[in-house]
Amino acid sequence: MKVLFVTSWYPTQNNPNYGIFVKEHAKAIQATSTEIVVLAVLTERSKSFFKLLADDYIDESGIRTVEIKLLSRFRDIIHYLVPLQNRIAYHYFKKQISPTFSPDLVHSNVVFPAGVIGDYIAHKIDKPSIITEHWSKIGGILKKPYFSCLVKQAYQNASKILPVSEYLKKNMQMLMPYLPDEKFWVVPNVVDAKLFTFKEKEQSETEIRFCAVATWATKNQPDKYPELFIEAISKVQSTMDKRLKLTMIGGGDRVEELKMLCAKLNVNADFVGYQRKAEIAKVLQYSHFMLHASRVETFGVVIVESLMTGTPVLCSNVAALPELINGSNGVLCENTVESWVNGLKFIISKSFNQIEIAKYNHLRFSENSIGYQISTIYNEIQPV
């Protein structure tokens, strides 16, 4: 089986975490007997009026990647110029990929614009297409008539649509009830099982260690809600003999504001900034619990990363998170300070089988598991 893997979200040297969950899917596919070539069409802001950079390389996992960067001070306009991206992507496919690689199907990631680009290429070469969907903001693009037509056409032409959670699947079916249920197959994100491994916790007579991982950024309505667990820690600390220690991983323009809130509420917090995955794994292994307060979550990669280290999670009872958290591996909270206070008290008092938490989630979200699921779908659509 040969697969052209099309994406507009993909890590680059300048932005190593951008779309990293898409790259994890590519690695999972590569780990099976499937031959894969990644075609990454990326729009980035720059000082240039317009510049096109193309690179063809083998990455650290042995995946051939054809990377096309469209750089412009008018990045947002270029991003929505899908006909331009279609022509450029197909040109590089014909010029650099097709002479040595003839795909059996086209697998796109996120419907706009990659799914539309993948649909265009699949139609050109008369091959089936698949779309993996990670995007929580499909409703917004469907409100724009022209782009809505492109998106709906890509979904309708796809042999399968692979949302990363049941929550996302239900949301898509609500927005597009005409898409048949049998077209959908939920395939979760991948987490690096070699990196996020179980390590027995160092117990302390004087300290309980929490951590949180996110980009702490300002938006009209921020996705993350760290004030909840910061205020809850402050309230619970006054009732505890042990010190509650919080490690905050991640950058963003809200960091200084959150530091001030922790100082005001006497919360012992260490802000360590952006960290690579290897360092995040170490912090999770060292922490007793992971905290994740959110308003929306299409999947929840950081939660699975925590569970794969055997670290129980206290998180918001929203969107896809109840698919990951239950009484055996953590606690779900409503987005109120009172609920988070009660959740903190409960999770601190509860005993968890951390080895079993790690083992179960390794089986569920490892590269091998997800790769097998995707290759099964490939073979159903295009038998070898």
Q: How many CB atoms sit inside 10 A of residue 292's CB?
A: 26
DSSP state of 121: H
CA–CA separation, 107 and 132 (whole Å): 7
383 pLDDT more than 90: no
**260-270 pLDDT, tens per residue?**
999 999 999 99
Element (H, E) at 221: none
Question: Residue 220 has what pLDDT?
Answer: 64
**180-220 pLDDT, tens per residue?**
999 999 999 999 999 999 999 988 999 999 999 999 998 76
CA–CA separation, 106 and 226 (whole Å): 39
CA–CA separation, 117 and 127 (whole Å): 13
Asked if residue 191 lies in contact with residue 227, where contact means CB atoms within 8 angstroms, the answer is: no
- What percent helix, strand, coil does the chain show, rounded to 5? 40, 20, 35
Q: Who contacts 245 (Cβ-Cβ below 8 Å, separation ≥6)?
A: 207, 208, 209, 210, 268, 269, 270
| Buried/exposed 228-266: b ≥16 CB within 10 Å, e otherwise | bbbbbbbebbeeeeeebbbbbbbebebbeebeebbeebe
Question: Residue 13 has what pLDDT?
Answer: 82
List, in sequence order, every beta strand (DSSP E) within 46-103: 51-58, 64-72
Domains, the chain, ranges and CATH? 2-190+367-381 (3.40.50.2000), 207-364 (3.40.50.2000)
Question: Residue 221 has what pLDDT?
Answer: 66
| Residue 248 three-state SS | strand
Question: Residue 203 has what pLDDT?
Answer: 86
DSSP state of 294: B
Residue 300 Rama label (left phi>0; alpha psi -120 to 50; beta): left
Q: Angle at which helices 20-30 and 367-381 pack, to 10 degrees?
A: 70
Question: Residue 15 has what pLDDT?
Answer: 82
384 pLDDT more than 70: no
* 14 band by pLDDT with thresholds 50, 70 and 90: confident
Tell me what the mean pLDDT of segment 231-237 comes to.
98
Please name every residue paired with 70 in a beta bridge, in sequence order, or none if there are none.
43, 52
CA–CA separation, 169 and 324 (whole Å): 15
Residue 316: is it exposed, middle or buried by C-beta count within 10 angstroms (0-12/13-18/19+)? buried
This prediction's pTM: 0.94
Question: Residue 218 has what pLDDT?
Answer: 84
